[in-house]
Amino acid sequence: MSPYDKALANPTYKQVKKGFTSHVEVLNLKFDTHKASFEDLVKFFFTFHDPTTKNKQGADKGTQYHSTIFFHSSKQKQVAMRVIGEVQDLMFDKLIPSNTFKGFKVMTQ
Protein backbone atom coordinates (compact mmCIF):
# COMPACT_ATOMS: atom_id res chain seq x y z
CA MET A 1 0.00 0.00 0.00
CA SER A 2 1.36 3.42 -0.91
CA PRO A 3 2.14 5.85 1.94
CA TYR A 4 0.04 8.37 0.00
CA ASP A 5 -3.07 6.20 0.23
CA LYS A 6 -5.59 8.14 2.35
CA ALA A 7 -7.17 4.85 3.48
CA LEU A 8 -3.94 3.60 5.08
CA ALA A 9 -5.11 1.49 8.04
CA ASN A 10 -1.98 1.39 10.22
CA PRO A 11 0.41 4.14 9.18
CA THR A 12 3.81 4.55 10.76
CA TYR A 13 4.60 7.67 12.76
CA LYS A 14 6.90 8.78 9.94
CA GLN A 15 4.07 8.54 7.38
CA VAL A 16 1.70 10.53 9.60
CA LYS A 17 4.38 13.10 10.46
CA LYS A 18 5.11 13.71 6.79
CA GLY A 19 1.41 14.21 6.04
CA PHE A 20 1.11 11.16 3.79
CA THR A 21 -2.13 10.03 5.47
CA SER A 22 -5.36 11.57 6.70
CA HIS A 23 -4.43 10.66 10.28
CA VAL A 24 -3.60 13.09 13.09
CA GLU A 25 -0.83 12.94 15.67
CA VAL A 26 -2.38 12.03 19.01
CA LEU A 27 -1.52 11.32 22.60
CA ASN A 28 -3.27 8.33 24.16
CA LEU A 29 -3.72 9.42 27.75
CA LYS A 30 -4.82 7.22 30.63
CA PHE A 31 -5.86 9.15 33.71
CA ASP A 32 -7.09 8.55 37.23
CA THR A 33 -10.64 9.91 37.46
CA HIS A 34 -10.13 10.36 41.21
CA LYS A 35 -7.40 12.93 40.49
CA ALA A 36 -8.64 14.62 37.31
CA SER A 37 -11.85 14.62 35.32
CA PHE A 38 -12.23 14.45 31.55
CA GLU A 39 -13.37 18.08 31.74
CA ASP A 40 -10.12 19.00 33.54
CA LEU A 41 -8.14 17.37 30.73
CA VAL A 42 -10.10 19.10 27.96
CA LYS A 43 -9.67 22.48 29.68
CA PHE A 44 -5.95 21.79 30.14
CA PHE A 45 -5.71 20.90 26.44
CA PHE A 46 -6.84 24.41 25.55
CA THR A 47 -4.15 26.00 27.76
CA PHE A 48 -1.51 24.97 25.21
CA HIS A 49 -3.51 24.20 22.06
CA ASP A 50 -4.46 27.11 19.79
CA PRO A 51 -7.86 26.36 18.21
CA THR A 52 -7.66 29.47 16.02
CA THR A 53 -5.06 27.99 13.68
CA LYS A 54 -6.17 25.40 11.16
CA ASN A 55 -3.86 22.45 10.55
CA LYS A 56 -1.10 24.06 12.61
CA GLN A 57 0.25 24.03 16.15
CA GLY A 58 3.25 26.23 16.83
CA ALA A 59 5.85 25.63 14.13
CA ASP A 60 4.21 22.33 13.13
CA LYS A 61 2.08 22.60 9.99
CA GLY A 62 -0.04 20.05 8.16
CA THR A 63 -3.34 18.21 8.31
CA GLN A 64 -1.88 15.87 10.93
CA TYR A 65 -1.97 18.81 13.39
CA HIS A 66 -5.65 19.75 13.14
CA SER A 67 -7.69 20.12 16.32
CA THR A 68 -9.05 16.79 17.51
CA ILE A 69 -10.46 15.59 20.82
CA PHE A 70 -11.38 11.92 21.08
CA PHE A 71 -14.09 10.74 23.48
CA HIS A 72 -15.16 7.33 24.78
CA SER A 73 -18.74 8.03 25.81
CA SER A 74 -21.66 10.34 25.09
CA LYS A 75 -20.98 12.04 28.45
CA GLN A 76 -17.39 12.81 27.42
CA LYS A 77 -18.65 14.09 24.06
CA GLN A 78 -21.08 16.45 25.84
CA VAL A 79 -18.30 17.68 28.14
CA ALA A 80 -15.96 18.30 25.21
CA MET A 81 -18.66 20.15 23.24
CA ARG A 82 -19.46 22.34 26.26
CA VAL A 83 -15.80 23.22 26.88
CA ILE A 84 -15.28 23.92 23.16
CA GLY A 85 -18.29 26.26 23.33
CA GLU A 86 -16.78 28.03 26.35
CA VAL A 87 -13.48 28.46 24.50
CA GLN A 88 -15.27 29.80 21.41
CA ASP A 89 -17.17 32.29 23.58
CA LEU A 90 -13.82 33.64 24.82
CA MET A 91 -12.63 34.32 21.26
CA PHE A 92 -15.15 37.09 20.59
CA ASP A 93 -15.74 40.24 22.61
CA LYS A 94 -18.92 41.15 20.76
CA LEU A 95 -21.11 39.85 18.01
CA ILE A 96 -23.19 42.68 16.57
CA PRO A 97 -25.58 42.70 13.58
CA SER A 98 -24.13 44.77 10.73
CA ASN A 99 -27.32 46.82 10.38
CA THR A 100 -26.65 48.35 13.84
CA PHE A 101 -24.57 51.05 12.17
CA LYS A 102 -26.77 51.59 9.12
CA GLY A 103 -26.50 55.14 7.85
CA PHE A 104 -23.05 55.78 9.37
CA LYS A 105 -20.03 56.39 7.15
CA VAL A 106 -16.94 54.31 7.71
CA MET A 107 -13.87 56.56 7.78
CA THR A 108 -10.38 55.19 7.15
CA GLN A 109 -7.03 56.90 6.86
Q: How many domains does the chain have?
A: 1
CATH number at residue 78: 3.30.1060.10
Residue 84: CB partners within 8 Å, gap ≥ 6? 42, 51, 69
Q: Which domain holds residue 34?
A: 13-101
Choice among 44-53, 65-74, 76-85, 91-100 with the minimum mean pLDDT: 91-100
For residues 104 and 109, what is the distance between their CA atoms, to the nearest angstrom?
Answer: 16
Q: Is a pLDDT exceeding 80 seen at residue 5?
A: no
Q: Is residue 56 part of a domain?
A: yes
For residues 109 and 22, what is the distance between their CA atoms, to the nearest angstrom?
Answer: 45
The pLDDT assigned to 2 comes to 44
Q: Is residue 21 part of a domain?
A: yes
What percentage of residues in the chain have a pLDDT greater than 70? Answer: 76
Q: Is residue 66 part of a domain?
A: yes
The pLDDT assigned to 98 comes to 66
Q: Is residue 18 part of a domain?
A: yes
More reliable by pLDDT, 103 or 31 = 31
State CA 65 to chain mean position distance: 9
